[in-house]
Amino acid sequence: MEKRRLGTSEIKITPIIMGTWQAGKKMWVGIEDSEVIKAIREAFNAGITTVDTAEVYGDGYSEKIVAQALGNVREQVVLATKVFANHLKYDQVIEACHRSLKNLNTDYIDLYQIHWPSGYFHSEIVPIEETMNALNKLKEDGKIRAIGVSNFSSKQIAEACQYGIIDSLQPPYSLFWRIIEKEEMPYCVENKISMIAYSSLAQGLLTGKFGLEHKFAEGDHRSKNRLFAIKENYERVQTALQKLRPIAERKQCTMAQLAIAWLIAQPQTNAIVGARNAEQAIANAKAADVKLSEDELAEIDAIGQIVTEHLDDRPVMWDF
């Protein structure tokens, strides 16, 4: 899999990134450690050498699972993790980073990201300068190699950039969720900031596996996703999926692979994709082999707008 430069750093990432929210188990159902570890290993074997996690995914449990899966190939992978919104004071950032280093069983983190801006989830407001000072210190000390932000607006990214180099933005972005194309994408392209899209399959919708009558198990956070939970949105999703199926058949790929291929063809965009098992991980990696022409990209783009043109400007998909 051909690698890409992360922002202006020397780090090279794969355009498809292994997501490990599910490895933390919290807010997911039916997750088996052994299966997730096998999935991460098979993703690596298939060429996905960049892995994304966070301290809040199962309170560090996801990071520990990543360490179990990739400990013996540490120098061959790029590890990205995140500090949560309630740990953004200077000392808290330093402490959180050291916890993540321990969980990941490594002495450096390739990409360390602010998971949510200060103030989210009832967290204390902390000036971005203070947080960035801590991140810059960690970078100077060799504990982290690059700094990223997640769920930031273009204005918030610009403010963070006043105090240090930001190499990546991690936003929710998929064919069915495209709010960042208005402001954040142009800002990132202009400033050479890589975009690492999460929920790149719209939490599984773009696999085409969820029919009109699907109900999620109790405890599955996807039940609060507005693409699923609002009837009119879900009906439009089903219409769009029906139009995407013939294209996937024509390209001899799955619906998920088509959606990933479209996403990583967007300006400076890379896709985080999770997997519950090895089969899913291997299939995700094969999306890098799906090549789309300009006409095909435009055709898929128009189908996605069946869903997106009816959405409001709220940046995230959930009503938590």
Tell me if residue 187 is catalytic: no
User: Which of these is catalytic: 57, 112, 198, 234?
Assistant: 57
DSSP state of 5: E
Q: Identify the three-state secondary structure at position 84.
A: coil
Distances (CA, A) of 204 to 66, 107, 183, 185, 318: 22, 34, 25, 23, 14
Q: Identify the three-state secondary structure at position 51.
A: strand
Handedness of CA 281, 270, 176, 159 (dihedral sign): positive
Checking DSSP bridges between strand 50-52 and strand 78-83, what pairing results, if any? parallel
CA atoms within 13 A on the CB side of 61: 14
Tell me if 168 sits within 8 A of 189, measured CB to CB: no
Q: Give the integer Cα–Cα distance in Å for 128 and 89.
A: 9
Token code pair at residue 20: 């490990």
DSSP state of 147: E
CA atoms within 13 A on the CB side of 3: 14
Residue reference for tokens 């490990």 = 20
Q: Which residues are catalytic?
A: 57
